[in-house]
Amino acid sequence: MNAPILKTDAISFRYNPARKAAVDQVSFGIAPGSVTAILGPNGAGKSTLISLLLGLQKPEAGKVLLEGYPLGHYTRRQLSQWMGLVPQSEYLPFEYTVLEFVLLGRAPYLGPLDLPGENDITIARESLAAAGITELSTRPIPALSGGELQLVLIARALAQQPRILLLDEPTSHLDLANRNAVLRIMHQLKRNNVTIIFTTHDPEAASLIADDLVLMRGGQVIYTGEMKTTFTNEKLSKTYGTPVEVIPLDGYMAVKSIERLE
């Protein structure tokens, strides 16, 4: 494995000093150009871990390293050029058009009073095309469906031209067509050597795209490794706290619960 592009070294974080850590002594590395799924049940600490990787939250112990340097070594502008985020959802106080919203992804490359130039507009339009939503460019954001909005959030992140893209539950609440559209975009980004990290509670979504897995439960990483050695009955059952079976199916791995409901 190449030297990790992003690495956590025993990081811990809690929202309330009196409560259990949301992330507890987590260590793993992300290979450049790989797709890593952070997989686990709801409440495992996956979204908190994404915030720590981005530097939006600071660990109370341990450190996050980007190309061997702590995140504090970089300015927020530099981190925004390195890493893009596709959140689960986002509050939008203004009625942007889709193109205007995607242009916000160019902010890390503009000065405080600068307006987007022709190059920025070109990159935004290319990002819309990469997400397959060019026809939505003049649509107001509030008029979008949930699936369309998810693709717009991806396009905005693409406009940042990040080397690392983090996605928080990118396929949750999507129908099959939109889920597959998101996975196709992720696959194309991998071909372009973008490092991808995404959280999910859906093992099958992970099996369709991931090279590596980070399995979380109760704020801790309980297993990490390549898909072929980590996506197993035993390890997934321990992660989800219920017996599951992994079934090879047409080139990917399906998962079914084998617990009998009496």
Q: Which residue has the tokens 């559209």?
A: 181
As a whole number, mean pLDDT of residues 73-93 equals 90
Q: Tell me, what's the pLDDT at 176?
A: 87
29 DSSP β-pair partners: 7
Cα–Cα dist 8/27, whole Å: 5
Question: Which pLDDT does position 252 carry in this prediction?
Answer: 76
Cβ atoms of 227 and 213 closer than 8 Å: yes
Q: If you ran DSSP here, which 8-state letter would residue 150 be given?
A: H
Which two tokens mark 25? Answer: 């002594």
Q: In the prediction, which pLDDT does 260 show?
A: 58
Structure tokens at 241: 């706290």
Nearest CA to 130 among 108, 110, 152? Answer: 152
Residue 130: C-alpha distances to residues 100, 133, 185, 194, 261 (Å): 16, 8, 7, 14, 44
pLDDT number for residue 250: 75
What CATH number matches the domain at 6-94+162-257, 3.40.50.300, 3.50.50.60, 3.30.465.10, 3.40.50.2000?
3.40.50.300
**pLDDT(262) > 60:** no
pLDDT digits (tens, 9 = 90+) for 190-230: 999 999 999 998 888 899 999 999 999 999 999 999 999 99
pLDDT at 90 (0 to 100): 81
For the chain, what percent of residues have pLDDT higher than 70? 97
Mean pLDDT of 229-247: 92
Indicate the Cα dihedral angle 222, 228, 232, 234, nearest 10°.
-50
Cβ-contact 165, 195 below 8 angstroms: yes
Nearest in space to 130 (alpha carbons), one of 155, 98, 103: 155
Cα–Cα nearest to 126, from 99, 148, 153: 99
**Pairwise CA distance, residues 237 & 183, whole Å:** 25
Instruction: State mean pLDDT over 79-106.
Output: 91
Give the pLDDT score at 29: 96
Of residues 215 and 179, more confidence is placed in 215
Report the pLDDT value the prediction gives residue 19, as an integer from 0 to 100: 87
pLDDT at 257: 74
At residue 171, the 3 state secondary structure works out as coil
- Residue range 227-247: mean pLDDT, rounded: 92
User: From residue 241, how far is each of 16, 74, 217, 236, 258 by CA, in Å?
Assistant: 26, 39, 9, 8, 12
Q: Which amino acid is at 256?
A: K
pTM: 0.93
Residue among 163, 118, 193, 180 at smallest CA distance from 126:
118
Nearest residue to 61 (alpha-carbon basis) of 30, 18, 19, 27? 27
φ, ψ of residue 162 to 5 degrees: the values are -75, 155
Mean pLDDT in the chain?
A: 92
Would you kindly state where each structural domain of the chain is located, as residue ranges?
A: 6-94+162-257
Q: What is the pLDDT of residues 92-101, one digit of tens each?
A: 767 899 999 9
Residue 231 confidence class, pLDDT cut points 50, 70, 90: very high
